[in-house]
Structure 1
Amino acid sequence: MITYRFAFVCSLICLSACSSQSPDYASLGLVDISGTVKVDGEPVPGAVVSFKDVSNGNESYGLTNSSGYYRLWFNSEKYGIMPGEKQIQFSTTRKILGLNSEEEGGGNEESEEGTVVENSDVEKFRDAYRKDSKIIVTVDEDSSTFDFDLASDGSTSQPL
């Protein structure tokens, strides 16, 4: 009896390992998106920028460096985002495992230029730019840059 269970478990493990392949990124039509985030003309370092698909809720994330520059990650292996209409959200307190945190509790992130960006415990964005954001953009194959210069008073603005 134990032998059959062992064989069954081994075959399940083998099937799981064999079926875990990298997705075919080329077939997804990913668009490489980058840009800057500023508030009142000043760059915001350590901000999570989220492009959330309005139809299915999928998100791509980026983290701003000391110059406010971000680049979106599709997942932990690949940059990019699928085309479509996206709600843009910003936060300096949101922690995303693997993006700006090694654990759920927070930490520091090294930017593409090799400088460490400190994550803040103080939110620098008003509600109008976080989950309640009214900023909507359309990402297509002709998109590549979305720069945002937001107002500290929370008035909604569109990307530059």
Structure 2
Amino acid sequence: MTTRWLAPEEQRAWRAYLAATLLVEDALDRHLQQEAGMPHLYYSILSRLSEEPERRLRMTDLAERLKITRSRLTYAVTRLEKDGLVLREGCPSDRRGSMAALTDAGMTVVERTAPGHVENVRATLFDHLAPEQVRQLEEIFTGVARALQSGAEAPGAPEDVPWRRRSPKPSCS
């Protein structure tokens, strides 16, 4: 098999993507550490749960939406539980499943932190883009995500990637 090396413009785009994503994630993480005393991942968990009906979601679905491993999510939720921001509950329709539920204290953290977080996202990323670039950014990354997720159906796709797991799961209410 012949290696398809990156063309110079692809190499520049790749390195710009890496630098920007690392810098954006670092800026968001530092800001959330200062504002809420937690990393971006923990805030993302709280934020996702705040958007769900009854502020709860099955752990496997939460891992899939956040694109992280179940073990990483379990560790993060355990830490958030210790702070009283999340509760873990059994799934009434499936003994093997568990739910993550946002507590009132967790919702208070989201409500207090969200305005500053949104302003930081805006200042870190969107203030540097023209409206057409925002549309292009969405189009580009939606296409990349769609292609990678549809590749999950390919034979031999790794099963250890959270969003590629296909296990039957009863719904929890």
TM-score by length of 2: 0.27
Q: Going by fraction, where is strand more abundant, 1 or 2? A: 1
Q: Whose helix proportion is higher, 1 or 2?
A: 2
Q: Provide TM-score, normalisation by structure 1.
A: 0.28
